[in-house]
Amino acid sequence: MGLKVLVAGFSTRHVVQSAYAAGCEVYAVDHFSDRDLSFYAREAIRFDEIDDILPAVEEMARKHAPDIVVATSGAELLPSRNLYGTPPEKVQRFLDKMATHQFFDEIGVRTPALISPHSFPVMMKPRRGSGGWRNRVISSVADLESWRAEFNDPPALAEEVVSGAPCSVCCVADGTHAVAIAANRQLLRGSGSASYGYCGSVTPFLDPRHDELIQVAERIAAASRCVGTLGIDFIAGDELFAIEINPRFQATLDTVEMSTGINLFSAHLAACMGNLPMKRPPCLQVAARKILFADRDFTVHADLSRLSSIISDIPWPGTAFEEGQAVISIYGWGSTEEEATGLLHKHFQTVRQYMGGRLYG
C-alpha cells in the first residue's frame, strides 16, 4: 500500500499494528507507547494529558508529512484535512451518550429507557467517556451521592437496568451504507467499582439473536452517516438493546482480525474511499483477548517481548503500575469458544509466572 500514516489517540497499538500489516509506513501519537508499539511504528510521541494530543500531532506531521491521519479514542475531534474516518462534525453527536440515545429513538431502535436517577435501581453513566469504567448500577440515594462525589458530579444520564450479554458489532460504512464485519462478546470486569469496565472480547459472538444483531447494527451504522470502521454496542437478552456508537476503530480490532483473517485497516481505508465489502466475511476461528490488571503496586522488570505471539500492549521493563491498572493483554484462539478461552487461561498462567503472579483478569 505504501501510505505514510499517522495514528493518534489515547491507545493506538492495535490500529498501528493493523496499518503496519497492511503495508503502511506508520507513525503514532499515543498515551502509553508500549514496548510493542515500537515494533510497528517508525516513531511514536507519547503524551500525558488529552489536551496534549493536537500539539503532538502537529509536531509529528511537521517531521514526517503523513499522507493520511487516523484517529482512535480520545482524538475523534482532531482537525485534519488528511483525516480518514468520520469527520469531527459528525463524530460529535456520538461522543455524547444522551445525543446517541436520542439518535436511537429517532431511527426506531430500542435502547434502555431514560428514567429518574432516583428510580432505583438505575444505571448511571457519564454523558462522555469510553470503556464503561464509570458506569454503575445505583440502588440508593447514598450510592448516587457517592457516585457523583467520586466522579465530580459529571453531566450524566440515568437509564433503566436491562439484563443480557454485553456485545458489539464491528461495521464498515461509506456514509450511506454499511456492512457488518463481525459480532463480538464483550468481557467486562464484573466486580468492584468498575464492574462495567471493558476488559476484552471474544469473536465471534454466537447467540440466538446473532442475525438480528447484525441487521440492526448495519441499519444503525448506515443511518449514523459515519465513514470507515465503527462499532455498535448492545445488550442481548430476551430483547435487544442498542447502547452506544463508537465512531472509530474499536478495542475489538485484534479479535476481529484474528477470527476473520481480514485486515481491518485496509477495510477502513476502502470504506473511506466509498468501497465496502461485497459480503460479510466468515469467521474462521474463535479468538479471545483479555486485559490483565495489577493486583498490587509493582514494577515490571522482565522484557516480555519474547511472549509477543500470545500477548500485546507490552510494558517496557521498568514500568511501574498501581493496583488495579491495566498491565497487558493476552490472547487465546481455537475452533470453539471453549478452546479459545482454555488457551487464553493457559497463556494467562504463563504470563503470570513471568511477572511473579502480580496479575488478575
Least confident of 131-135, 188-192, 293-297: 188-192
Contact 344, 187 (CB under 8 A): no
User: pLDDT digit string (tens) for 266-280?
Assistant: 999 999 999 999 999
Q: Tell me how many degrees the CA angle 332-333-334 measures, rounded to the nearest 5.
A: 140
191 confidence band (pLDDT: 50, 70, 90): confident
346 confidence band (pLDDT: 50, 70, 90): very high
Whether the ω angle into residue 204 lies within 30 degrees of 0, i.e. cis, is yes
Can you tell me the mean pLDDT for 121-129?
A: 96
Predicted TM-score of the model (pTM):
0.96
User: pLDDT digit string (tens) for 47-100?
Assistant: 999 899 999 999 999 999 999 999 999 999 988 779 999 999 999 999 999 999
C-alpha–C-alpha distance, residues 94 and 305, integer Å: 36
Can you tell me the mean pLDDT for 231-243?
A: 97
**pLDDT for residue 245 is more than 90:** yes
Q: Is 166 helix (H, G, I), strand (E, B) or coil?
A: strand
User: pLDDT digit string (tens) for 304-313?
Assistant: 999 999 999 9
C-alpha–C-alpha distance, residues 361 and 188, integer Å: 10
User: pLDDT digit string (tens) for 325-334?
Assistant: 999 999 999 9
346 versus 356: the higher-pLDDT residue is 346
193 confidence band (pLDDT: 50, 70, 90): confident
- What domains, with CATH codes, occur in the chain? 4-84 (3.40.50.20), 92-101+162-272 (3.30.470.20), 106-159 (3.30.1490), 286-360 (no CATH)
Beta strands in the chain (DSSP E): 4-9, 25-30, 43-46, 68-71, 122-126, 136-138, 156-159, 165-174, 178-188, 198-203, 227-236, 240-246, 286-294, 298-299, 311-312, 320-321, 326-334, 359-360
Q: Is 101 helix (H, G, I), strand (E, B) or coil?
A: helix
**pLDDT for residue 1 is more than 60:** no
79 versus 317: the higher-pLDDT residue is 317
User: What does the pLDDT read at residue 283?
Assistant: 97
